[in-house]
């Protein structure tokens, strides 16, 4: 339920903290399906103030930190596993690359070492680092306080629901474990109503005026609520036609010294390191002191960077609304004895979250949509964190799928990483 390693072996503790100032931790996702813990992505995006490829504008001081390991701009920055260019879809219909649909998307963290990939894997609390992040959530499910279902056992349908058909998407009731083989579960992740949806461009989306830099704590609640309203409306309109109700999460700003006592999530998650995604009370908890580079933005850049990270958190709520996190968790259970394929599944999941989050951010209106230096930074290869574990995507793959989301024009079928060639999700 944390972020990156801080001299702590992630195999020894689920709480991992970052010791590298060049990386940003992702939000924490708490109490996902089956009530199991998840670990955050180990390769988040670099801090915006650590932009190695960008010249500092005259109005800003020269950043004092750089990323020595970041490659210089040029041909060497071109992704080697980038998905091939996709034709821009017409406004009237989704792009042809969208997968076929069946008849009937908080916690980001990097996977644990392979020896922990046992049948008792499950989804729960996790640390999502900020959206941006070129990355996503490679949530790996760990043994939790409650007894886990057998990976091969069929879940009992809840009252009023029909028996699930393997390989066909249906919304999951609380505690319901999807049935099916690994191939059938992956088919659902590749063919579901989310990927038939299109995120609209909000009619309007204006955030309170700021002079640039990090928004003061006293003004942060109103600032985030304004941005969250734009994303909530967009996701609601996108999922509504598929019969999926998206209840926009509340946004609560907190301090690590005074964590929200009323929160349904574990108190230890509330640090200054990253937002907390809490599904039990449908709330996004945002640390007032959290700063993945906000302090180094101009007045034009600040709303763009805030919305980039806010969009990542909202994608996780959308995935939960469509029960896809439950199908993903069940897939990891089925792959408990196939670590290579489990690693690949984690990369596909992480990259889809990056793509969906990017799609949402770039559908925002002018003024809050990433442009200029912010756009160049979040979509660049050097800005992506280097993978730590086998389940972490490569930097070029992360950047490529962020670019796919940017160019999707809101058609979420473009972000179907589950049926992409293996080379595009390396």
Cβ burial 26-52 (10 Å sphere, 16+ → b, else e): bbbbbbbbbbbbbbbbbbbbbbbbbbb
Q: Which of 110-119, 182-191, 373-382 has the lowest mean pLDDT?
A: 110-119
Residues ≥6 apart with Cβ < 8 Å to 139: 29, 32, 38, 39, 107, 108, 109, 111, 123, 126, 325, 328, 329, 346, 349
More confident residue, 87 or 250: 250
The pLDDT of residue 203 is: 86
28-37, 38-47, 259-268 — which one is most confidently predicted on average?
Answer: 259-268
pLDDT of residue 359 exceeding 70: yes
Instruction: Please report the DSSP string for 41-101 in residue order.
Output: -S--BBPGGG-TT-PPPTTSPPPS---TTSPPSSGGGS-SSPPPP-PPPPTTS--TTSPP-
Q: By C-alpha distance, which of 228, 244, 351, 340 is closest to 285?
A: 228
Write out pLDDT tens, residues 360-371: 999 999 999 999
pTM, to two decimals: 0.72
Q: By C-alpha distance, which of 344, 410, 18 is closest to 189?
A: 344
The whole-angstrom separation of Cα 122 and Cα 331 is: 10
pLDDT of residue 253 exceeding 50: yes
The pLDDT of residue 45 is: 73
Phi, psi of 232 (to 5 degrees): -65, -40
pLDDT cut 90: percent of the chain above it: 55
Write out pLDDT tens, residues 132-149: 333 333 333 322 222 333
- Measure the N-to-C terminal CA separation of the chain; round to a whole number of Å: 25
- Is residue 244 within 8 A of residue 193, CB to CB? The reply is yes
pLDDT of residue 266 exceeding 50: yes
Write out pLDDT tens, residues 164-197: 689 999 999 988 989 999 999 999 999 999 999 9
- Give Cα 350 distance to the centre of its chain: 7
Average pLDDT (377-388) is 89
Q: By C-alpha distance, which of 263, 300, 301 is closest to 106?
A: 263
Locate 172 and state its tokens. Answer: 């999951």
The pLDDT of residue 319 is: 96
Write out pLDDT tens, residues 291-347: 999 999 999 999 999 999 999 999 999 999 999 999 999 999 999 999 999 999 999
The pLDDT of residue 254 is: 96
Write out pLDDT tens, residues 40-56: 454 467 788 654 434 44
pLDDT of residue 426 exceeding 90: yes
Question: In 3-state terms, what secondary structure has residue 335?
Answer: coil
């Amino acid at each position: 339920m944390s972020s990156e390693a801080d001299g702590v072996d992630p195999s020894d503790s689920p709480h991992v903290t970052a010791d590298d100032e060049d990386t940003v931790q992702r939000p924490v996702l708490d109490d996902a399906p089956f009530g199991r813990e998840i670990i955050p992505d180990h390769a988040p995006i670099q801090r915006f103030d650590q932009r190695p490829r960008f010249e500092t504008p005259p109005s800003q001081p020269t950043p004092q930190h750089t990323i020595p390991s970041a490659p210089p701009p040029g041909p060497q920055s071109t992704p080697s596993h980038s998905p091939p260019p996709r034709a821009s879809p017409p406004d009237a219909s989704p792009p042809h690359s969208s997968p076929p649909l069946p008849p009937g998307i908080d916690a980001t963290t990097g996977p644990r070492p392979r020896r922990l990939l046992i049948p008792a894997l499950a989804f729960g609390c996790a640390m999502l680092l900020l959206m941006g992040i070129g990355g996503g959530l490679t949530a790996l499910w760990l043994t939790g306080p409650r007894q886990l279902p057998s990976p091969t056992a069929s879940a009992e349908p809840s009252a009023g629901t029909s028996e699930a058909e393997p390989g066909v998407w249906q919304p999951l009731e609380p505690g319901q474990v999807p049935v099916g083989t690994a191939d059938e579960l992956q088919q659902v992740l590749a063919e579901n109503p989310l990927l038939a949806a299109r995120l609209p461009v909000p009619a309007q989306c204006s955030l309170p005026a700021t002079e640039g830099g990090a928004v003061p704590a006293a003004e942060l609640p109103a600032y985030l609520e304004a941005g969250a309203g734009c994303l909530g409306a967009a996701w609601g309109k996108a999922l509504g036609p598929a019969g999926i109700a998206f209840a926009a999460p509340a946004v609560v700003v907190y301090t690590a010294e005074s964590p929200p006592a009323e929160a349904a999530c574990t108190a230890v998650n509330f640090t200054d390191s990253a937002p907390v995604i809490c599904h039990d009370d449908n709330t996004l908890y945002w640390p007032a002191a959290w700063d993945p580079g906000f302090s180094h933005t101009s007045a034009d850049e600040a709303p763009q960077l805030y919305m980039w990270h806010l969009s990542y958190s909202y994608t996780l709520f959308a995935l939960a609304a469509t029960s896809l996190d439950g199908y993903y968790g069940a897939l990891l259970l089925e792959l408990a004895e196939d670590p290579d394929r489990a690693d690949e599944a984690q990369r596909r999941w992480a990259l889809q979250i990056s793509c969906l989050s990017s799609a949402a951010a770039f559908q925002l209106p002018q003024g809050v949509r990433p442009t200029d230096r912010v756009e160049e930074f979040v979509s660049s290869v050097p800005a992506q964190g280097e993978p730590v574990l086998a389940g972490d995507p490569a930097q070029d793959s992360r950047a490529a799928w962020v670019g796919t989301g940017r160019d999707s024009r809101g058609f979420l079928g473009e972000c179907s990483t589950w049926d992409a060639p293996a080379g595009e999700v390396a």
